[in-house]
Amino acid sequence: MVTVSQLVNETLANQRISCWCFFGGSPEPQLPFAVRASEEVLKELKPGRILRICFEWNGCGNKALVKKAGELSLRSGGNIKFDLKAYSDSLNKALSGVSNRRAYENFEMLFHEFYTERPGLPVLTATTLLVPGYVDSQEVEGIARFLADLDPEIPYSLLIFHPDYMMRDLPITPVNQVVECYKAARRYLKNVNVGNLHLIGFSSMDGFKKSFGLL
């Protein structure tokens, strides 16, 4: 348990801290705390000191708080990453227990509010975990099309799945699923990355793309 003042004071006293990233889990349950602490620390920073405010979340938070978080990330040079788990609402409910409509509404809201103010260093990015047997190329295509309708330059990362916790009965994402999902995303978006490539035997995006003729 930490208070706003404790977190702010510890950060101000440590010059090595240059970023706050709220993730989890997902930070939405603690969003009032995160926003309040971020406002306070930015207000107290000495001129010239860098402290970027970043969030990595499912995106289903209260709209007003999400907008405030976007303002803080934009102002501080930070970033907000949306974990868009699926495109179809039914699959999102199966994987997480909740609807994903709020996540897409919040992403679109933040895009129109802030994205064009800092296109060179995007304030918004998205990622999708390629859960084997669930999140296929059709799901990825839907997400990529949604992003591209806003701006095809939005960075999008596909993450290879590793079996942990309640999903230990699933395998690592099959290579063919990774390739097909990457192709689906690249049909719409210009900046697509694949994360956790070491899980399928690759050390770089270049090596992955060369192996499957994706250059």
* pLDDT of amino acid 24: 86
Q: What is the CATH class of 79-211?
A: alpha beta
> CB within 8 A of 43, min separation 6: which ones?
none
**Starting from the edge strand earliest in sequence, which strands make up the sheet with 52-57, in order?**
19-22, 52-57, 80-83, 124-130, 156-160, 192-195
Q: Residue 157 CB: number of other CB atoms within 10 A?
A: 18
The most distant pair of C-alpha atoms in the chain lies apart, rounded to whole Å, by: 53
Digits of tens for pLDDT over the chain (215 positions)? 899 999 999 999 999 999 999 998 899 999 999 999 999 999 999 999 999 999 999 999 999 999 999 999 999 999 999 999 999 999 999 999 999 999 999 999 999 999 999 988 999 999 999 999 999 999 999 999 999 999 999 999 999 999 999 899 999 999 999 999 999 999 999 999 999 999 999 999 999 999 999 98
With beta carbons less than 8 A apart as the criterion, state whether 34 and 55 touch.
Answer: yes
* pLDDT of amino acid 156: 99
CA 34-40-41 angle, to 5 degrees, is 90
> What is the C-alpha separation between 35 and 16, in angstroms, rounded?
21
* pLDDT of amino acid 25: 83
The distance from CA 2 to its chain's CA centroid, rounded to whole angstroms, is 25
Domain locations in the chain as residue ranges = 79-211
User: Against a cut of 0.85, is the pTM above it?
Assistant: yes
> What is the C-alpha separation between 77 and 123, in angstroms, rounded?
8
Helices (H), the chain: 4-13, 31-44, 63-76, 89-96, 101-114, 137-150, 175-186, 205-211
Q: CA–CA distance from 29 to each of 1, 34, 54, 141, 193 (Å)?
A: 14, 10, 16, 30, 29
> What is the C-alpha separation between 67 and 25, in angstroms, rounded?
20
